Amino acid sequence: MIAHAKLSDTEIRSLIRSGVITLGGNSLLKIYGQLRCKSGKRMHTKNRMFFTSVHDAKNMGYRPCGHCMKKEYTIWKKSDGSL
């Protein structure tokens, strides 16, 4: 998990281009999703986290976004919403 607030815009772009960062998440809501997600783009920088994989996000206690990851969210929801 990588905190957005600790990186410059240049560093973030470089990590995304190189494939290190693949997902974004909200540290307050414990939700992760795709980097292009409309909901994720609206969150405050201080709350934004970046992940290298779905496995990384799940291990940190995050759940899938209901907007950009509908299939994963439905599976999570049907499994009683626990991580």
For residue 83, tell me if it sits in a domain.
Answer: no
Strands 31-34 and 63-64: parallel
* Contact of 62 with 32, CB cutoff 8 Å: yes
**Mean per-residue pLDDT for 59-82?**
92
Supply the range of the domain harboring residue 6: 2-78
More confident residue, 39 or 10: 10
Domain count, the chain: 1
Residue with tokens 């409309």: 38
Q: Give the Cα separation of 7 and 36 in Å (integer).
A: 19
Question: Which amino acid type is present at position 72?
Answer: E
Q: Give the Cα separation of 58 and 50 in Å (integer).
A: 12
pLDDT per residue over 12-56, tens digit each?
999 999 999 999 999 999 999 999 999 888 899 999 999 999 999
CATH of the domain at 23: 3.40.10
pLDDT of residue 28: 96
